[in-house]
A and B are shown apart, each in its own frame.
Chain A
C-alpha cells in the first residue's frame, strides 16, 4: 500500500459513488453521517491488516470524497471525526477490552460495529434535539426560520405535535432554484397540516417581518470552532437583523456537524463560491446581493480565484453558504445539550486532545 495519494484509489471500490448512493437511499441522512457510513463500508470491503494501512486508506478515501463535491465543509466534519476516532482507538487497542490476544481483525470488527453504532446514534440525535429545542418555543410565540434544514423541520414538527403549544411560524422560503426549496415546501405543508399557521416570506421581507417575530431558529451545515455557523446563504444577514432588533437566534445542529475550521470572515472559507460575479455590459444578469456581500472587496475575490481548485465547479449564489459569527448567536441546540457559542470550542478541544 505504498501508492502515492494522488494515485487512483482502490480499484473496485468507488467511495464517491458509495457516498452518493448512501445519501440518496436515505433522505434522512446528513452529509457527515453519510460520509462516515461510506468510510465504514470502504474499510469493511478492503483487506487492510495493519493500523497504518487503515489510516492510509482512510486518508485517500477522504481526499477523494472531498475533491468530488463543491462544498466539503459539512462532509469534512464527519470524516475528520471518524479519522480522529480511529486514531485514538487504534493507538490504544487495550482500551477496547478485547482481551489479551487481540489481533488487528478484532480491532477492525470493533471499529466497523462502532461505526454503524455511530450512524444509528446520529440518526436518533435529530429527535433528541427536537425534544430539547421545543422547550425554547413558548406558548403564543412566533418563530421565524429559514428552513432547508431537516433538524429545524423535525423540531417544528415535534413542537406542533404537542397539544399544549400554540405558535406561529414565519418561513423564509429559499429561492426556487435552490436544492432546498422542495424540502422547504414540504415542511410548510406539514406544519399547516398540524394546524400551525405558517406565513411564507421571501428573503427580502425578513427585516419587515421581524417586528412580529419572537425568536429565530436556523439550521447549520457546520458549526465552526469559534461557535459561529456555516449555513445557507442569507443566515448571516438574518443574524445581523436579529441582533439589531434584539431577537434571539438559536441554531439547531447535531454535534457531528462541529467542524475544525476557524473562519475569520465570509471570505475565509475553504470553498469557492461564485456569489460575487463582477461583470460589465453584455448580459446584465439579475443578481441577489446581500448586504454583507457588497462589502467584499475586489482584491479578495481575485485571491479566491487564484487559490481555488479548478476541477470542481464552484457553488453559485443559490446553493452558496455564508458564515454567521458567534456574537450573533444566542445558543446552539445539540443532542448533548444547549451550548453557548463559546462552548463549541471546548467540545472540539475535548474531541481533539
Chain B
C-alpha cells in the first residue's frame, strides 16, 4: 500500500507553488500541475523542487498517522491506484518526459485519464470493498513472466478457474508443483542454491500464483516454511543432494501436516458424532467429508444436512458424495438455513484459516450459519489442520477478503433471465443505442451492462469471519481446543 500512498499524494504536493496546498480532489490537482509545469522557468523549477522536497518530507511523516487521506473516498483512492498502475506504459510512449522522478511521472499521464475511461473508473470501487479490487485477477497466460515454470502456469489457471479449490488442496497442489520446479532448477554459476533459489526462482512462481488467485493462509504458511528450510541448507551441500533433500522435506511436510493430521482430526471428530445426531455443515470441506465418511463406516447412524450457497455451490459435490456412500443427506440453500438449523444437533465446519483471535475465516456464509447455530445453542465444531493457523487477527470480513469476478456472480441461467431487460437498459444509455440494437442477445452482454451501469455495483466476496464466541471447539491434530487456544497451538506448531 505504501507506494499507492506516494502515487496518490505526490501530485498534490506540486501545486504548492502555484495554488493553495490544500487540494482535496486529486483529479483537479492533476490538471493544475500539468498546466503549472509547462509555465515555470528553470529558476522557479528549482524553487518548486525544494518545496516539493519539504512537502514530501512532511508527507512521509504524516502518511503513517493519517490513514484517512488514503482511505477517505474510496472511489478516488482506487482510481488513483489504477492510474498509477497504467502510468509506466503511458510514460514510455511519451516523447519527452519532463521529469523522471517516480513521484512525478504519473502527473502528466493522469491528465488524459479522466477523459479516457470515465465510465469504468467509479465501478468496482464501490461499497466498503474497494480495496479488494486493486489487483486485477489473472485469467490467462498473457503477461506471465518468462521465468514461470510451465507446471506453475497450469496450476495458476487451475486456481483462477476454481478447478483446484479449497485451502488444503491448493496448498498441497502448490507444494507438489514446487517439487517439479525445484527438480528443474539449476543454480547459476557463482550463486549458492540457498541464496538464489528462493528469491530468483521461486519468487516469480509465487508471484504468478498470487496473481491468479490471492494466496491462501495455508499456502502462505507453507511458503514461509519452504523458504525457511531452503535458507538453512548448508551452502557446501552439492546441488543434487540439496534438491533431493528439499523434495523429501516437502513430501514429509505434506505427510505430517496434511495427511497424518487429517487422519488424526478425522478420528477425533468422528468420536464427536453420536448415534442419532443430525450434523449440519456448510459448503464443503475435505476434512469434514472424510469425518462423515469415517463415522458412517464405523457404523454410527446419523444424518447430514448440507447448507450451500452461491457462487461455487461446493456443497452439491459434498452432498452427492455422501449420498453415494449411503448417508442420509438433506441439501438446503443458505436461504433455508434457519430451517435446517432447527433439525440439527451439531454443526461441523471446515476452515480456510483460524485467526489468532480465535476467529474463523471461512467460506462466505459460514458466519451466518454459525450465528444461527449459536442462537439454537448447538455446538459449533471447526475442523482445521494447524497449518491453517495464522498469527494474523481479523476483526471483520472487510479488511482481508477476496472478491470473485462478476461472471461467477450470475449463473448462465440467471443471465438469460436478465436478457429481456435489455430494452430498458438501451433507453437509459442514449449514446450507443444503435450498436446495442444490432448485437444479438448474448448472455455475456449482461455482464457488460453491469460493468457499464453507473449506479449498479456487483460484489461477490468469497470469505467471511466468524467471531470466536460462536465456536465451541476447534479440532486439530493436537487435539480439541477452545478457539482462544489457537495462538498457543500456532506457536507450538511453528516453533518445533
- A→B interface (CB under 8 Å): 225-227, 260, 262, 264-265, 299-300, 302-303, 306, 326-327, 341-342, 345-346, 349, 352-353
Assembled-state Cα–Cα distance A342/B489 (Å): 13
Check A264/B492 contact, CB under 8 A, given A226-B482, A342-B485, A345-B485. Answer: no
Assembled-state Cα–Cα distance A341/B469 (Å): 13
Query: In the complex, which residues of chain B have a beta carbon less than 8 angstroms from the beta carbon of A262?
Result: 473, 480
Assembled-state Cα–Cα distance A353/B490 (Å): 13
- Interface size for chain B: under 10, 10 to 19, 20 to 34, or 35 or more residues? 20 to 34
Q: What's the A-B contact tally at a CB cutoff of 8 Å?
A: 48
Of the stretches B65-73, B184-192, B268-276, B415-423, the one at the interface is: B268-276
Assembled-state Cα–Cα distance A225/B485 (Å): 10
- B→A interface (CB under 8 Å): 272, 274-276, 346, 379, 381, 469, 472-473, 478-482, 484-485, 488-489, 492
**Chain A at the B interface: mostly helix, strand, loop or mixed?**
helix
Assembled-state Cα–Cα distance A327/B471 (Å): 12
Query: In the complex, which residues of chain B have a beta carbon less than 8 angstroms from the beta carbon of A327?
Result: 469
Assembled-state Cα–Cα distance A260/B482 (Å): 12
Closest to A265 in B: B379
Contact in complex: B481, A349 (CB < 8 Å)? yes
Query: In the complex, which residues of chain B have a beta carbon less than 8 angstroms from the beta carbon of A346?
Result: 485, 488
Assembled-state Cα–Cα distance A346/B481 (Å): 9
Query: In the complex, which residues of chain A have a beta carbon less than 8 angstroms from the beta carbon of B481?
Result: 225-226, 345, 349
From B275, B381, B473, B478, contact of A349 by CB (8 A): B478
CB distance from B489 to the nearest CB of A (A): 7
Assembled-state Cα–Cα distance A346/B489 (Å): 9
Contact in complex: A352, B276 (CB < 8 Å)? no
Closest to B346 in A: A264
Check A303/B484 contact, CB under 8 A, given A349-B489, A353-B492. Answer: no
Assembled-state Cα–Cα distance A327/B374 (Å): 13
Check A349/B488 contact, CB under 8 A, given A225-B482, A303-B275. Answer: yes
Query: In the complex, which residues of chain B have a beta carbon less than 8 angstroms from the beta carbon of A342?
Result: 482, 484-485
Contact in complex: B492, A227 (CB < 8 Å)? no
Assembled-state Cα–Cα distance A225/B476 (Å): 14
Contact in complex: B274, A303 (CB < 8 Å)? yes
Assembled-state Cα–Cα distance A52/B482 (Å): 34
Contact in complex: B379, A349 (CB < 8 Å)? no
Assembled-state Cα–Cα distance A120/B261 (Å): 39
CB distance from A163 to the nearest CB of B (A): 40
Closest to A344 in B: B482
Task: Beyond the given A264-B381, A265-B379, please list 10 additional residue pairs across the A-B interface where CB-CB is below 8 A.
Answer: A225-B479, A226-B472, A226-B482, A303-B274, A326-B482, A342-B485, A346-B488, A349-B489, A353-B478, A353-B492
Assembled-state Cα–Cα distance A262/B276 (Å): 20
From B272, B346, B469, B488, contact of A345 by CB (8 A): B488
Query: In the complex, which residues of chain B have a beta carbon less than 8 angstroms from the beta carbon of A306?
Result: 275
